[in-house]
Structure 1
């Protein structure tokens, strides 16, 4: 694969126990093509080293360096996974010659391949343009099963990412692209955004969200004291779909927690509300795949954002299995 690199085992290091007490001791660095269908429950981490979409969207570039940084941070966390659960580093999809579209296609193929091999894929990025490729990887897998299953997208984000492409697609257009393609194919576009900020989306974007029947919770409501109401909305959304794809844009968090992102803001949400919502989503049994977007090591402070991403991943992998 032109847009693919094998996993780098040297990034997985930390305190040594020789008893698999840490995730760097648990992980198996295995090229994508060598992962086989497991007899055990299995998780595969896949990088998306591309920030061309961020550059096109006039954001701060640097997110292409994030997959290895997040993996390195995660490796130092304790391992509480059962011996019956496998954890793979499946390598990284990389952007070559600024060809974001080709990178998205390769990501789509890789996600489909992992799902076919009975993995739970977690993609680490990279610009939020990866959502377009990730979604199509899930869709291609479900279409191959010919069961007509519907996908619900839940996006933890300050931004709708529903911009209408002008010169080209970018990190701000993936869900608009998905919506328009869904319309052409005659299928429902099921999209829930949690943490939307009025100071981060113009009137045209709110109008587009209305036209596309996007469900969303504004940032002033996306707070822990409203958790019961938020969970009611999440459960109502999940009830109407067969599978759920979760994408977490780290720039949705307050810069107090996530300074190393493409578009930082002090007015974002907290990790606590995201963790509680993830418990609800995972508890539905419909989560099929997920990703973390917009980590930018170039602007991180003391590894805070990388540790936030790793903490979220640690919570997720220990909750689903």
Structure 2
């Protein structure tokens, strides 16, 4: 089963200014069902996904269940540059109970659809990358037959077969199978793919499903024009974009606190440049961060990276829509 918990304001801490100079002073902790429909589409809602059951099933390092709290703890200390009229909500956390991954994915889909129907921009904090299946389903349920593109910053395709059940390595395969059953196009772009992180069969699966990808040796600032071109081509062909960042795609020099760390990943600069392109398209409908694992973090380095990405997206969205 899944359990929903409202966030106590006490977890949001930082410097005191009395002028909402910091995000912990700006945030409103509210129950998701109590939210009114927001006329201002710049409004932002943080939702936690406290689940690493999929990571465990995928033989990864557990601990990502504590990821949402770690990211919020760092984010609260960041400066607030949002307009005074822009609401910023913490709408709680969905928790996995009794190892029932599928139930928590269903609960996430329901909450995402609800947030979108209330005209908020969801930012979901994980938790394992199984977050992607529930997140996408919530967007699909809300948008109906609109053409949705998925952009995944990741070292892994996460296209493993579900023959042994759903895991953190299967979410995009699950989405692809659902798209096939519904005769809907599967539009999936992966940025940062590594050959040392995906076996030959996964590359074959990606090819058979028509997946677009950029390998990590071409996903850097030296190839930024090529990355921009691929992104623009992908964005032109969809109505809306769901973007997900798997922190284990970053080099462990930047993100040691993840479920599957490697020194061979990408760096934050190319991710930020890519996010600018995505946001400038005005097609970004929802965003999440996956695989934050505080058990292996150093000096909250990975939590701060995740918080920085959230900080960037929420402020860029705010500026783009103002």
Q: Normalised by the size of structure 1, how large is the TM-score?
A: 0.98
Partner of 2:5: 5
Deviation of the 1:243 alpha carbon: 0.3
Aligned pair 1:65/2:63, yes or no?
no
2:275 counterpart (270, 274, 278): 278
Partner of 2:27: 27
Aligned pair 1:153/2:133, yes or no?
no
Q: Normalised by the size of structure 2, how large is the TM-score?
A: 0.97
Partner of 1:218: 215
Partner of 2:307: 310
Deviation of the 1:94 alpha carbon: 0.4
Aligned pair 1:96/2:97, yes or no?
yes
Structure 2 unmatched ranges of 5 or more: none
Q: Using the alignment, how far apart are the partners of 1:8 and 1:227 within structure 2?
A: 41
SS in 2 for 1:3: strand
Deviation of the 1:166 alpha carbon: 2.4
Q: How many residues align?
A: 317
SS in 1 for 2:87: strand
Aligned pair 1:139/2:145, yes or no?
no
Show the 5 A alignment for 1:144-223: 148-223=145-220
Residues 2, 96 of structure 2: 8 Å contact kept: no
Q: Using the alignment, how far apart are the partners of 2:86 and 2:284 within structure 1?
A: 17
Deviation of the 1:8 alpha carbon: 2.2
Deviation of the 1:2 alpha carbon: 5.1
Partner of 1:294: 291
Structure 1 unmatched ranges of 5 or more: none
Give CA deviations for 1:259-306 in whole Å, capped at 9, x if unaligned.
000000000000000000000000000000010000000110000000
Q: Using the alignment, how far apart are the partners of 2:236 and 2:272 within structure 1?
A: 20
Show the 5 A alignment for 1:98-117: 98-117=99-118
Q: CA RMSD of the aligned region, Å?
A: 0.9
Q: Using the alignment, how far apart are the partners of 2:273 and 2:63 within structure 1?
A: 29
Q: Using the alignment, how far apart are the partners of 1:246 and 1:163 within structure 2?
A: 20
Give CA deviations for 1:122-146 in whole Å, capped at 9, x if unaligned.
0000000010000000000012xxx
